[in-house]
Amino acid sequence: MPNHKSAEKRDRQNARRNVNNTASRSRVRSQLKKLHTLIDSGKQQEALDFLPKAISVIDKAVQKGVLHRNTAARHKARLTLHVNELKVKS
């Protein structure tokens, strides 16, 4: 239990931020999972269409401070690489 008013406020802020960060992180992971599923199943056109949406969600997570920008860049680079490999295979 916090003993000071400022500590109580800090608890409230942390709880709110935790909910927002968890939701944002979950959104990113869901998009990554969907795109990986499309890539694994070899659906080239659907993966190409879905890639900008996934990148957008990743970028928004960076803006909100949920992901580090280098982590986001790594994810985006690898996803783009995998999608481009689908184009080469077909």
Give the whole-angstrom CA distance, residue 90 versus residue 41: 13
Q: Read off the pTM.
A: 0.88
Strand, helix or coil at 90?
coil
pLDDT 10s per residue in the chain (90 long)? 889 999 999 999 999 999 999 999 999 999 999 999 999 999 999 999 999 999 999 999 999 999 999 999 999 999 999 999 998 876
Inter-residue contact 31 to 54 (CB < 8 Å): yes
- Answer for the pair 44, 88: CB distance below 8 angstroms, yes or no: no
Question: What structural domains and CATH numbers belong to the chain?
Answer: 5-89 (1.20.58.110)
CA dist., res. 61 & res. 58, Å (int): 5
- Here the tokens at position 56 are 């957008």
